[in-house]
């Protein structure tokens, strides 16, 4: 479907055909765009509505969702600003497309801003799948994530995200009350079949209750 010009991010929207599937907010990694994760969303949750924005920050011409100062070193002031902008977009997209709160599926940079959104604007998301995410904020704010489901998948041989960092993120989310499932897979920074199998099974457990 064509983009809605009154929404603040270039994006793609695909309406859902299965009312039992929660909508998915697809957040690409560095260098991706609004089309990158659409095939993944379609295969993982057939029939789910898909909202896929393009990051508005450029790093050497590559789209990202927020600035970084170096590999693994985030510009936290920019991250906080961009998280607010993305959360506002999600609220606008929900109104424009008549959607319930989505589950974010973010990869790398997209996973990091999804984690930041859970901490800074938790009401925007119904849950999140964080793929190769790391701690986004040095000092996370106090937040109530009671009952919020989160799947965090890390790579044992990830050269970008240290395993300790990913475990710290899982602990932060758990301490805030989220229902965290964290798995460290025999993988690097890229995704493999083990990731896809875990995500698909997890998403099936998040089906919306039938309308009365």
Q: Active site includes 182? A: no
Is 108 in the active site?
yes
Whether 189 sits among the annotated catalytic residues: the reply is yes
Alpha carbon 209 to chain centroid, angstroms? 22
Which tokens go with 156?
């044992």
Catalytic residue among 33, 78, 174, 189: 189
Residues whose CB is less than 8 angstroms from the CB of residue 171 and which lie 6 or more positions away in sequence, other chains included: none
Among the options 52, 108, 154, 195, which is catalytic? 108
Contacts of 38 (CB under 8 A, 6+ apart): 12, 14, 26, 50, 52
Give the N- to C-terminal CA distance of the chain in Å, as an integer. 30
Catalytic residue among 11, 52, 158, 195: 158
Q: Which residues are catalytic?
A: 108, 158, 189
């Amino acid at each position: 479907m064509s983009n809605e010009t009154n929404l603040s991010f270039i994006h793609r929207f695909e309406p859902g055909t299965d009312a039992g599937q929660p909508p998915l907010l697809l957040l690409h990694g560095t260098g991706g765009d609004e089309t990158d994760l659409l095939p993944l969303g379609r295969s993982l949750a057939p029939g789910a509505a898909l909202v896929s924005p393009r990051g508005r920050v450029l790093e050497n011409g590559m789209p990202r969702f927020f600035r970084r100062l170096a590999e693994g070193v985030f510009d936290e002031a920019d991250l906080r600003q961009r998280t607010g902008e993305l959360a506002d977009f999600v609220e606008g997209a929900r109104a424009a497309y008549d959607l319930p709160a989505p589950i974010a599926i973010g990869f790398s940079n997209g996973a990091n801003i999804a984690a930041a959104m859970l901490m800074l604007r938790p009401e925007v998301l119904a849950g999140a799948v964080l793929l190769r995410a790391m701690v986004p904020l040095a000092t996370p704010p106090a937040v109530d994530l009671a009952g919020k489901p989160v799947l965090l998948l890390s790579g044992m041989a990830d050269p970008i995200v240290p395993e300790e960092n990913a475990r710290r993120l899982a602990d932060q989310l758990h301490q805030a009350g989220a229902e965290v499932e964290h798995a460290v897979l025999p993988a690097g920074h890229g995704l493999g079949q083990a990731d896809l199998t875990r995500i698909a099974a997890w998403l099936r457990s998040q089906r919306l209750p039938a309308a009365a």
